[in-house]
Structure 1
């Protein structure tokens, strides 16, 4: 899609000098009751709230396969949709994904998974053509992005959902996964503001080997740069943030410099494969902010330095949603300097950040008079029989494993994929004291003292039903509902063949191969 001359003017003005008023961009234009020409007649659904859910289908990964592809969902919406909450769930192997809404004639092709390059998809272009919808925490299975009531993400008429995804199978067997998204919609009359995305990133990573380190982007003059770009006061209000790093990441913080701010407004330690987004309620007024700092921390236990990238490389990114008249891409692309070492021995690096400002898409205005006076509009593009989050079903013990039930296969297919790669039970984390990367894994399993179910045995040779390891993998509600199945945060169990591999290894005597 070629941008219109007016849209190009808006982009250039915002990026260079902040001349938004010169192109006639006015958020109030769409609420004029005398300006209804071309409006879609909404209606047909009673009430003020509705849910739209979609199943993107199944994707298969070969052993040790890593892919970056795209996926889309055509909404067929003849009127705008106002999204209060986004829910994403999957059956595993989705390392991360970034979601956008774009005009439906952009990136043409069938719905479902596709090669991003075949349709010319890039994340920055997608954000500029539409807006950001959602971002997935690293390796999370289930995630809810909900902002305060009335603060919404707008999907304009005839727009579709598209995402860039990163999938990773670190095991020796073929695996399948499914992906689901649910949009919680509200009536236009409940909309108080339409949120605008921004992004923070640190590209100039050179993470030292065999050390803990932190990299800080220093954005001096952030408030002044915002005012120069918009031609108005610093009126940004922060609603939501979500960090992203990979399995070496162990820290993220966001800090604003200005009157009334003292210390980080967001701080996260560790990496657990969970949902790490934060909704500010009440939203955070940034009108007194002069600068900002964001920091990513890493524990690089490897023997080589690690840079920016996918696979065994790292990232440092934060998505934000704010009340703002402009989109911002704030990044560090160079100039990193070593600045010292903390008392705990953490190496510290800093660099100045750059800031690209892009005008908020004109289609991201407030609801029109026609929308406000009509019924809640819900397109028919959802899957009505699909719940927002898949229902957990206990393991089927009649299923047989597809690999030999050996400890090495259990470690490769189950532990490496779903227990250690999320850094929960790896050597660097050891949640509940269990290290599934221990040099003597067999001894670790047999010597481990269970914390969550005192008196239980982790592995009882020849008896899967009496083995806590099997029970927390095979039962949706182990301990009759007082415990949590594993992997932690997963809406459903692992696939039946993986659980069967553990079951049959224990049944055969839980031998050390």
Structure 2
């Protein structure tokens, strides 16, 4: 079954406001929008035997196969007072060991108090470990990647302990030469005592001769929603793939806050039309990163649907944002790099999709 879409093309790096969507910190949306509008359902489907539905599992809890080096960074300890919310940002040298520029996996180790961290690389701007200058919204993560950087790591909301993001054998994402690491952290102390937070990140590079698929990062986001007081709410959108090659998703991680009860994603079109490939609670500090091997395959002209569900226990309306507010996002990786499309939707706005440029030196 296929759904017809009218497609409008927008070019330019920062077109968020053109479709009425605020740009929240930590969202790398970049250069191209393919805006698909809902159309009629004309039925039908491809012949032949139906493919098996992909099954998600927890990623390997350890370094990737074919590891030949890597890099790491230790964030200095930060004290958060009870009820305090902080957004520290640091720049660290990317001091890579070994010959490879392909990252096959990474891990973060952290105690209580880290809501999440968005970690990117970008071409070098200075020396040593130092605080970030004020880079304001879109000039942050998006600017890093547009400048020739990469998305290095995103962690589960409120995760504690060690979390791994290791890709299937022979897969990894590229990083540029002469780069630095940018660590944008969101810290939140919901306890009654001060907390010291000091996350450590470590990445593992893999033998480039063993690389079968180069991965590109992607983010799916539903923006500008409202959740009424003391109510349940679900937002849903359909997105159509406009690439020349299929998108093979091998890694997915929903990002919602404590009111989140479900993040779901399913196929649109093809033999698996309507079948779900991700059914996640949306919020679980024990870890939500899901690995797919074989991959979730979205064919050109087909698409996917994703949704977020919340239960608002507050006597106030909840919006998209930080603090008590909520988010509806999914961070992931897919191949080929050019088919790893990010997506954003909003009430009445359709689904906009866009690719991510390759890091410096990989163009």
TM-score (norm 2): 0.75
Q: 1:314 to 1:10 in 2, by over 3 A?
A: closer
Q: Does 1:273 align with 2:273?
A: no
1:259–1:289 contact (8 Å) kept in structure 2: no
1:10–1:359 contact (8 Å) kept in structure 2: no
Moved over 6 A (4+): 9-14
Q: Does 1:240 align with 2:259?
A: no
Q: Does 1:207 align with 2:224?
A: no
Q: 2:261 aligns with which of 243, 250, 267?
A: 250
Deviation at residue 253 of structure 1 after TM alignment: 0.8
Q: 1:305 to 1:14 in 2, by over 3 A?
A: closer
Deviation at residue 315 of structure 1 after TM alignment: 0.5
Match of 2:76 in 1: 57
Task: Give the number of equivalent residue pairs.
Answer: 301
Distance in 2 separating the partners of 1:310 and 1:198? 21
CA RMSD of aligned residues (A): 2.8
Runs of 5+ unmatched residues, structure 1 = 1-8, 18-46, 228-232, 336-350, 366-513
Match of 1:453 in 2: none
- Please give the per-residue CA displacement for 1:248-274, whole angstroms capped at 9, x wherever unaligned: 011001112121224211111263312
Distance in 2 separating the partners of 1:137 and 1:48? 24
- Please give the per-residue CA displacement for 1:93-144, whole angstroms capped at 9, x wherever unaligned: 0001112111122xx46425x3562688512212322121111110012211
Greater helix fraction, Structure 1 or Structure 2:
1
Deviation at residue 58 of structure 1 after TM alignment: 0.8
- Listed as ranges, the matches of 1:55-454 within 5 Å are 55-77=74-96, 80-105=100-125, 108=126, 110-111=128-129, 114=131, 117=134, 122-129=140-147, 130-141=149-160, 142-219=162-239, 222-223=240-241, 226-227=242-243, 233-261=244-272, 262-269=274-281, 271-287=283-299, 290-323=302-335, 324-325=337-338, 328-335=341-348, 352-361=350-359, 363-364=361-362
1:330–1:355 contact (8 Å) kept in structure 2: yes
Distance in 2 separating the partners of 1:202 and 1:115? 28
**Secondary structure in structure 2 of the residue aligned to 1:117:** coil
2:71–2:95 contact (8 Å) kept in structure 1: no
TM-score (norm 1): 0.54
**Structure with greater Cα Rg:** 1
Greater strand fraction, Structure 1 or Structure 2:
2
Deviation at residue 156 of structure 1 after TM alignment: 1.8
Q: 1:172 to 1:10 in 2, by over 3 A?
A: closer
Q: 1:294 to 1:16 in 2, by over 3 A?
A: closer
Distance in 2 separating the partners of 1:327 and 1:123? 17
Runs of 5+ unmatched residues, structure 2 = 1-10, 15-29, 35-65
Deviation at residue 81 of structure 1 after TM alignment: 2.5
Distance in 2 separating the partners of 1:159 and 1:136? 21
